Structure 1
Amino acid sequence: MSTEELVISLDIGSSQVRAIVAELNTDGTTQVVGVGTAESKGMKKGAIINIDEAVQSIREAVDHAERMVGIEISEVYVGVSGNHISLQPSHGVVAVSSEDREIGFQDIDRVLQAAKVIALPPERIIIEVVPKQYIVDGLDDIRDPHGMMGVRLEVDAIIITGTKTIVHNLLRCVQKANLNIAGMVFLPLAVSELCLSTDEKNLGVVMVDIGGGTTTLTAFKQGHLASTASIPIGGEYITNDIAIGLRTHTHSAEEVKCEYGVASHEHAEIKETFQVQTIGTSRERMVTQLELAQIMEPRIEEIFYMIKNQVKEMGFTEEPSGGYVLTGGVMTTREIIHVARNQLGSSVRVTGPDNIGVKEPSYTGGIALIHYLQKRGVLQAAKSTRTEQSTRPKKQKGPSTFDRIKNWLDELI
């Protein structure tokens, strides 16, 4: 298997780092061939707080994926999210360059670059440009202008920006893990492209990704990305409550949550029991599933209560017409859908990737990133222009990895 035929996504979360390896097929589709996971260290509430620990976690996840696939990984696409993200509308205009006035990919790229020419505070950096509609000679609401005839090409777009320091720290961690960055993607948008239908986006829907340390919300109205927000609470808070309530270690609390946890006490079994070691003693105590559920349920209800309040702040005075679509590692908790519907309303569904071996919602981010790149044609373009080079070379000629990342950042800025 050639490295030119592979694409690797890196999802650096608060609880887990996941590297997904996918193979590019000749028909333009992708197939997952390897997965690497590692406990996320040096991260808190979606931000890096310790670079060395974060680098170690990235290396472990990538090494795991390398052993599974049997190659060395040198280049990754990185997902970016967090409460530092903001959206800004923009407009770009260019003249069609070809003599026959047929709009080509080069014209589309130029008009998107033109949309990037906006006034930004010095602490902000552009992560991505998302087109809402193209306009050809005054005709609007065009999704894909390629191949059309025209003289003037315009685009209404959304500029996704992030805090430069946070983005730089993320890039620094990936670079110190001896990896090159092929590109960066706004992860919640990629997740939405994978999990939401066109009808849901048109009606107005909220995509909710509940991870270990943060909960990310992405709202769509009239088919377009409308707003995004992040709540600094997730599965780790449920684990902490269990550790306090049962007076046990955090890792033990995480284990019993995953194995015996039920989100609603109404669905818990009092006859289901398990042993938990108590801090300060060498003895273990017997705990019922009902006791565990009574600890977990209030925190889970609080998470959905905060989600509902945040959605109101995002401009939804009533329940979104398209409802809520939930994903993320926390959504693997048994019977959590019942708690979600009690708090958010009846129009709630849980989703996740549909790939063999990675169907759990916790893998949604990494799979969605690859799906998003494939849908936008980035992977095929990269494959066609990629020159043969060794993977993770011991001795490197030309500009260093840090210089390449610096140059890439300069282009974004």
Structure 2
Amino acid sequence: MQEIYVGLDIGSHSTKVAIAEERLGNNMELLGIGEARSEGVIRGNIVNTEKAQKAVSAALADAEKMAGIEVKEVFIAVGGDRLRTFASRGVTAIPRDQDVITATDVSEVLRASRAIVVPPEAVIVDSVVREFIVDKQGGITDPVGMSGVRMEADVGLLMVPKSVLMNLDRTAERAGIIPDGQAALIHGSGMATLTPDEAEIGVALIDIGCGTTEIGVFTRGTLIWAYSFGYAGESVTKDMTVGLQLPFESAEQLKVDFGSAIEKNVQGEEFVSIPGIGGRQARSVERKFLAHIIEPRLEEILTLCKDAIFEAGLASKLSAGIVMTGGTSLMRDIVQLSERVFEMPVRTGAPNIAGDVPDLARTPQFSGVVGAVLSASDKHHRIEMSEEKRGMWSKIRKWFLRKI
């Protein structure tokens, strides 16, 4: 058996677990998935660890049963409505007696980039290298082996309140599993849904879940900026509970079964039945009226995404347009509405991963948890590669010193 990775995504609506095996050629294959209704989670933030733990335990049990293995460690996707990106720059001098930049130098400059004053209530959960700069030459993705005397790293540090990560870790531990690292949910979702070309030339990934909307801009093959806020699919449902005078669960089911993001796309003579409350008779309402409620809220959410991207000065980098993922991206006509708001091409993205598991695992709702598995693998390989490069350059240096 090859390396096993386990991802955990504790969302506002549901908690998901994915177990995958990395086989020869670094090919990832899903072995099992599990999903349970979340409790004690609001806008992606855990407010009751005991309730949240029950969902983790249930999802984990289902995933383990499907995979036929028991797991001890988990890699956590960190979401929520308070993810922010902070720019940082690390600088290091290359020793004069050294011909080329080594993996040790790269580690040193990345360490320097994280040596910033982090607010006492915040914690770094992920970091992304936007570029390396060697002797004022930018746009470098891997400086190892290059010559130079000064190296800089332009890095994005992704932070959340310390309590967010502590509650995630505590919830996992209560479920009997050991947290073995974390990454921003939007970072992993990008790995799961974007094509290499999209990530290279520039794209915005928008993950609209139940309680939060998360945005990530990718270019040169990596995430360079992320942001989140607490308006998402649940906000749409709450509007429907008011407009239709329905309980939340009934409104949610209507939204999923009959909702549309564009009112004019719905025929006026289509009616749907709305269940009565407290023994009252069921009533009928035009399906067009559902879209009348849904469209303005979704348009508002998408406009908030657009404004955030523009305020960050990143709109010009989106040569590949927008990719939508998350459960709310399944709403009928949301791509058309998004193209109207952003005025650029939009598509829906879902995980593309092998494995004899239900097709549910390859839907937008599972982008975050599949992304957690891919993030865990990516982190593991980056550590291995760094150690290998460090060892290789150490051997070269020793050989060179023996020759002089």
TM-score range, shorter chain: 0.7 to 0.9
TM-score by length of 1: 0.80
Paired residue type of 1:91? G
Distance in 1 (alpha carbons) for counterparts of 2:165 and 2:370: 21
Aligned to 1:238: 236
Summarize the Cα distance change of 1:270–1:316 in structure 2 as closer, same or farther, 3 Å threshold. same
Aligned to 1:268: 266
**Mapping of 1:136-215 within 5 angstroms?**
140-146=138-144, 154-197=152-195, 200=198, 204-215=202-213
Paired residue type of 2:292? Q
Indicate which of 351, 355, 364 corresponds to 1:361: 364
Distance in 1 (alpha carbons) for counterparts of 2:92 and 2:304: 41
Distance in 2 (alpha carbons) for counterparts of 1:176 and 1:10: 14
Q: 1:120 aligned to 2:97?
A: no
Aligned to 2:87: 88
Aligned to 1:75: 73
SS at match of 1:367: helix
Indicate which of 20, 28, 31 corresponds to 2:29: 31
Aligned to 1:350: 348
How big is the shift at 1:379?
8.3
How big is the shift at 1:297?
2.1
TM-score by length of 2: 0.82
Q: Which has the higher contact order (CA 8 A, sep 6+)?
A: 2
Paired residue type of 1:242? M
Distance in 2 (alpha carbons) for counterparts of 1:299 and 1:324: 19
How big is the shift at 1:285?
1.9
Aligned to 2:6: 8
Summarize the Cα distance change of 1:36–1:51 in structure 2 as closer, same or farther, 3 Å threshold. same
Aligned to 1:284: 282
Indicate which of 120, 131, 134 corresponds to 1:133: 131
SS at match of 2:323: strand
Distance in 1 (alpha carbons) for counterparts of 2:150 and 2:21: 38
Contact 1:247-1:279 at 8 Å conserved across structures: no
CA RMSD, Structure 1 to Structure 2 (Å): 3.3
Q: Deviations over 1:294-334 (max 9, x none)?
A: 23222222222332333333235779554322211101111
Aligned to 1:340: 338
Q: Deviations over 1:101-149 (max 9, x none)?
A: 6766555444433432222232222223322333567765432244567
Q: Deviations over 1:15-45 (max 9, x none)?
A: 1211111111022121112111111211112
Contact 2:236-2:297 at 8 Å conserved across structures: yes
Aligned to 1:405: none
SS at match of 2:26: coil
Query: Sequence identity, in percent?
Result: 30
SS at match of 2:336: helix
Paired residue type of 2:206? V
Summarize the Cα distance change of 1:121–1:380 in structure 2 as closer, same or farther, 3 Å threshold. closer
Summarize the Cα distance change of 1:151–1:339 in structure 2 as closer, same or farther, 3 Å threshold. closer
Paired residue type of 1:25? R
Task: Tell me which moved more, 171-180 or 273-282.
Answer: 273-282
Contact 2:131-2:141 at 8 Å conserved across structures: yes
How big is the shift at 1:220?
4.5
Distance in 1 (alpha carbons) for counterparts of 2:371 and 2:41: 21
Summarize the Cα distance change of 1:295–1:139 in structure 2 as closer, same or farther, 3 Å threshold. closer
Identify unmatched segments of 5+ residues in structure 1: 385-413
Contact 2:237-2:252 at 8 Å conserved across structures: yes
